Structure 1
Amino acid sequence: MAAVNEDRLQAVEQLQRELRAITATVEHPNGLCTVTASAKGELRAVHLHPALLGHGAHAVGQVVTETARLATDAAVQTSFNRMALALGDGMAIDVESVTGDAPFRSAAHPVVPPEPAVEQAPPPRRRRAEVVEDPDEDAFFSNPFGRR
């Protein structure tokens, strides 16, 4: 019994060391910035393309911030994946229920603004099928897939 507990403690310590060491390197979609970040949001490296500096301080700040967020999200996702491998999917789901969805599971905001949409007429609306009341409710329960 003591040996099993000791093995578990060592496995937990090893997982904690691995999670602390996880980083992710991400390049911004425009290719002008690359950031390496930890799951805690610590920036380990920031590389700027010289062309980015010509866009002004506001653009540099925005691109670095977006790239840092993407790199941090990637590191957090890697941490969730590593935890699921070590502890099992059930435990990872329990952790997600407490901490919130993993970054790649939740809806992310786009980094690059979408192309301006060309004004188009809205698609034609489809008519809904009319619901027919069934006086014989027993028919529904005898075949639940037959009724629409």
Structure 2
Amino acid sequence: MRATEQLQREIGALTATTEHPNGLCMVTASPKGEIKALHLHPALLGQGAQAVGQVVTETVQLATNAAVQASFNKMALALGDGMAIDVESIAGDSPFRSTWNPVVPPKDPAEQAPPERRQRSPRVEDPDEDAFFENPLWRR
């Protein structure tokens, strides 16, 4: 019982700090989505209210997902993987398992360079393509 109470206290006090991929906003949030701290870069404020709202909303979502993931991780360490799997089957997948969320962009300029593009071979027209799509038996 004491271990369960301790786990509840730790998860209740848990927060995660996340920076938006563009680096203009940083949020500390709880797993419940409570915003504990919000830092805006002055350059963001010059982009207008809609841009500020979008970046803040995205960053809060990333921070909340990171905090929820941290609580799943802490629960799995305390209760074991079997219990964590049972909780996920009830509550749904953990945020980082269900979606991929970039938390911090790469800082190395070499990592930010786009990969080289290869030329595609020219498209060859298929004379039977129209016949396939015109056949009503193939449609659903």
Residue of structure 1 equivalent to 2:34: 42
- Offset at residue 107 of structure 1 (A): 2.1
- Find the aligned partners of 1:30 and 1:47 in 2 and give their Cα distance: 13
For residue 95 of structure 2, give the secondary structure of its aligned residue in structure 1.
coil
Corresponding pairs, count: 112
For residue 55 of structure 2, give the secondary structure of its aligned residue in structure 1.
helix
- Find the aligned partners of 1:25 and 1:59 in 2 and give their Cα distance: 21
What's the RMSD between the two structures over aligned residues?
2.6
How big is each residue's C-alpha offset from its partner over 1:28-53, in whole Å with a ceiling of 9 and x where there is no partner? 01010000000000000000000000
- Find the aligned partners of 1:13 and 1:70 in 2 and give their Cα distance: 27
Is the alpha carbon distance of 1:22 and 1:62 closer, same or farther for their aligned partners in structure 2, counting shifts above 3 Å? same
* Gaps in structure 2 of 5+ consecutive residues: 106-113, 124-140
Q: Does 1:52 align with 2:19?
A: no
Native 8 Å contact 2:31 2:64 kept in 1: yes
Residue of structure 2 equivalent to 1:31: 23
Bigger mean CA offset, 39-48 vs 103-112? 103-112
Query: Greater helix percent: which structure?
Result: 2
* Gaps in structure 1 of 5+ consecutive residues: 1-8, 125-148
How big is each residue's C-alpha offset from its partner over 1:95-128, in whole Å with a ceiling of 9 and x where there is no partner? 000111111111236799xx9xx8x64799xxxx
For residue 31 of structure 1, give the secondary structure of its aligned residue in structure 2.
coil
TM-score by length of 1: 0.69
Residue of structure 1 equivalent to 2:76: 84
- Find the aligned partners of 1:80 and 1:43 in 2 and give their Cα distance: 19
- Find the aligned partners of 2:5 and 2:37 in 1 and give their Cα distance: 27
Identity of aligned residues (%): 72
Native 8 Å contact 2:33 2:60 kept in 1: yes
Structure with greater contact order relative to length (CA < 8 Å, sep ≥ 6): 2
Map 1:97-116; keep pairs closer than 5 Å: 97-108=89-100
Native 8 Å contact 2:16 2:64 kept in 1: yes
Structure possessing the higher radius of gyration over alpha carbons: 1
Residue of structure 2 equivalent to 1:93: 85
Q: Does 1:12 align with 2:12?
A: no
